[in-house]
Copies of this chain bind each other. A is one copy, B any other.
Amino acid sequence: MENIKAIVQLLRDVKNKRPLVHHLTNYVTVNDCANIVLALGGSPVMADDAGEVEEMVGIASALVINIGTLNSRTIEAMLLAGKKANQLGIPVVLDPVGAGATALRTNTAGRLIQEIELAVLRGNMSEIKVIAGIDSRTRGVDSADDSAGGSEIASKLAKRLGCTVAITGAQDIISDGSRTGLIDNGSPLLAKISGTGCMVTSLIGCYAGVTSDSYLAACSGLITMGLAGEKAAAGLSPNEGIGAYKVKLIDEIDRLTPEDILREGKFESVNWDCERKQLAIKE
């Protein structure tokens, strides 16, 4: 309950402080990311030229790097922006879209992780396994693997990278190495529309822009998306489909209140017990 209360406060903070979230992101879902940031209460800015990213990140509250349509030009800009953010103490959230699908993506994700200090790494299980060095093949940009063991993977990778790792799936898993949480909000429809992964990363960016606790920022982003996804699904008429669902998803982010999170957030903290090799629910 403590965590939920902290998340509720972060939602209020985003609405009051309107954090500017600088994105270097892909051109497929960039409009969705801009609108979901606005819907939550943040202010999005997209800029990817090496000639301006350092200056832009300097006025931002958080930096989101998404490699969904990376190219040699933007990779350099991502590195510049990320390093500048590190210098300035601005949190960096990385979405390694499609890591594992091609060497360019895997290597770029690796390079970004090595050269930039991340606040949050957010991916699906395939992507995170690839980054963790666990054998898994990524099929395009969708996750091919939702197997168990996620809490352990997240926790160990978080410890190794010194950041929060968030793995999205039917159940979301978040860990900063010491704290690990599970979120059971969401809807199967979220996987049926393009951009939900990118959008939740942008939401995490908003929250990271108002707190130095990146674990809470990640939990907040995931719970926000999960809850809005549930509400959007509940509001769907029988004659509607994923077109309307996407519109309603943005509506529900826009309409989400602290009370919604308090009442309907399904978050539990867990502890990966290394000796017993099992999870112990703490809360």
Given contacts A55-B102, A59-B101, A71-B73, 17 further A-B contacts (CB under 8 A): A28-B34, A29-B34, A31-B32, A34-B194, A34-B195, A35-B246, A38-B192, A43-B140, A45-B98, A46-B69, A47-B98, A49-B72, A51-B71, A51-B104, A52-B103, A60-B140, A243-B247
Residue in contact with A102 in the complex, picked from B20, B44, B56, CB distance below 8 Å = B56
Residue in contact with A38 in the complex, picked from B31, B47, B55, B242, CB distance below 8 Å = B242
Docked pose: A38 CA to B246 CA in angstroms: 12
Within 8 A of B (CB), among A57-107: 59-60, 68-73, 98, 101-105
* A149 contacts the other chain (CB 8 A): no
* A255 contacts the other chain (CB 8 A): yes
Docked pose: A276 CA to B68 CA in angstroms: 54
* A162 contacts the other chain (CB 8 A): no
* Pair A49/B104 contact, Cβ less than 8 Å: yes
A55 to nearest B CB, angstroms? 4
A145 to nearest B CB, angstroms? 15
* Pair B56/A101 contact, Cβ less than 8 Å: yes
* A139 contacts the other chain (CB 8 A): yes
- Contacting residues, chain B, for A139 (C-beta < 8 A): 20, 43, 59
Docked pose: A193 CA to B70 CA in angstroms: 26
Docked pose: A142 CA to B51 CA in angstroms: 20
User: Would you call the interface of chain A mostly helix, strand, loop, or mixed?
Assistant: mixed
A146 to nearest B CB, angstroms? 15
* A252 contacts the other chain (CB 8 A): yes
* Pair A44/B239 contact, Cβ less than 8 Å: no
* A248 contacts the other chain (CB 8 A): yes
* A188 contacts the other chain (CB 8 A): no
Residue in contact with A55 in the complex, picked from B32, B104, B243, B255, CB distance below 8 Å = B104
Docked pose: A252 CA to B51 CA in angstroms: 39
Within 8 A of B (CB), among A12-64: 20, 22, 26-32, 34-35, 38-39, 43-49, 51-52, 55-56, 59-60
Docked pose: A253 CA to B241 CA in angstroms: 8
* 11 A-B contact pairs sorted by A residue (CB < 8 Å): A28-B30, A29-B31, A29-B34, A39-B241, A49-B104, A55-B101, A239-B251, A241-B251, A244-B251, A246-B250, A247-B247
- Contacting residues, chain B, for A248 (C-beta < 8 A): 243-244
The chain B residue sitting closest to A255, CB to CB, is: B241
* Pair B246/A244 contact, Cβ less than 8 Å: no
Q: Known contacts A28-B31, A31-B29, A45-B98: does B250 contact A243 (CB below 8 Å)?
A: yes
* Pair B43/A142 contact, Cβ less than 8 Å: yes
Within 8 A of B (CB), among A124-163: 139-142
* Pair A52/B254 contact, Cβ less than 8 Å: no
